Amino acid sequence: YPSLSTWWNEPTDCSMQEIIRVVNGTLQTRVPPLSIDDNENQSEYITEYIKQFSKLEKDYFDAYVYDTIWSLAYLYQSHLLSNQSIIGIFKNVLENIDFIGATGRIRYLNGGRIGEVLVEQFVACRMMKDKTCRIPCYEEEDDCHLTVVKIFLAKYLESKDDSPILYKLNPIMWHGNGPPRDRTNQTIQFEHIYLSVFISISICSGIGLFISCTFLAFNIHFRSHSPTLDNIILAGLSKLDAINRNECFSRTNQTIQFEHIYLSVFISISICSGIGLFI
């Protein structure tokens, strides 16, 4: 279990730079030795214990033993106040324990302790003269060391059945430009042409449509040759061109699909060819 000591300074077969290169940026989770969440509802006994605890040589889990003793005292007191056996009331009393201890809020769920959890990160930094390690450094530098930065604090709120909430303590450091990808990113990119080109093609198509309608009226009026077939072809091409341009405008203004433009040009050419048949 990670202790408060700098274990990476202990003699190993690896150099300090190699250890820093491997560990730098690593995330870890652990329970804090003392609650890092300031709470004004702590009793005077807890406050005095925390004050004395910080001055003594201590084991990592001393504060948890202290809170466990208070939990047992609460359980024993509940047994004395009732006439039931301790086995009969153990589960109910354990589920109802709720007080502020040295390690945070003391509560139990399904026989397990609900407490605070720290998310920490090992960060390479440069050791200063005041023994602080704050400025980031390159892993190959001789004066580069490791420090542990508290990133998140996870704890439960009022309901024990809800998921714990993460409270951000410090920004997380990522190698590169951001967090690593855990899935494939899909980017949808629409191809479009310049609006000026589209307007020019639309104007030409409109002129062609107007001319075709004029020749259609002229052909119907004079009926010089094959009027029925020519009228059907010309009217069909004109209608198809109008439908196609309506489909183009039904798209978003920023996205005009290439296939619709090509089809519009093709229809315009076909109309012009059809016009040539009448001349």
Q: What is the mean pLDDT of each run of 10 residues along the chain (279 residues)?
A: 62 82 86 71 64 64 78 72 63 75 78 82 77 66 77 80 82 79 81 80 78 73 60 58 50 47 54 50
The answer to whether position 225 is within a domain reads yes
Q: Which two tokens stand for residue 262?
A: 């090509």
216 shares a domain with 115? no
Domain count, the chain: 2
Of 248, 278, 275, 272, nearest to 261 by C-alpha is 248
Residues 153 and 232 in one domain: no
28 and 113 belong to one structural domain = yes
Q: Which residues pair with 28 in a beta bridge?
A: 120
Cα-Cα-Cα-Cα dihedral sign, residues 159, 162, 164, 165: negative
Does 189 reside within a domain? no
pLDDT at position 2 = 47
Does residue 144 share a domain with residue 68? yes
Q: Looking at residue 107, what is its pLDDT?
A: 82
- Tell me, yes or no, whether 224 and 115 share the same domain: no
158 domain residue, yes or no:
yes
Q: Is there a domain that residue 205 lies in?
A: yes
Same domain, 118 and 224: no
pLDDT value at residue 43 = 63
In a shared domain, residues 271 and 210: yes
Residue 28 in any domain: the answer is yes
236 in any annotated domain:
yes
The DSSP code for 7 is G
CB 70 within 8 A of CB 14: no
pLDDT at 252: 44
Residue at a domain's end among 133, 168, 203: 168
In a domain, 188, yes or no: no
The whole domain housing 147 covers 7-168
Residues whose CB is less than 8 angstroms from the CB of residue 79 and which lie 6 or more positions away in sequence, other chains included: 86, 89, 93
Residue 92 lies in a domain: yes
CB 34 within 8 A of CB 50: yes
41, 153: one domain: yes
Q: Please, which residues bridge with residue 113 across strands?
A: 108
| 155, 217: one domain | no
Domain end call among 168, 186, 220: 168
Same domain as 205, residue 160 = no
Same domain, 38 and 163: yes
Q: Do residues 158 and 28 both lie within one domain?
A: yes
112-114 vs 117-127, strand pairing mode: unpaired
Coil, strand or helix: which one is 135? strand
Domain boundary among 168, 203, 225: 168
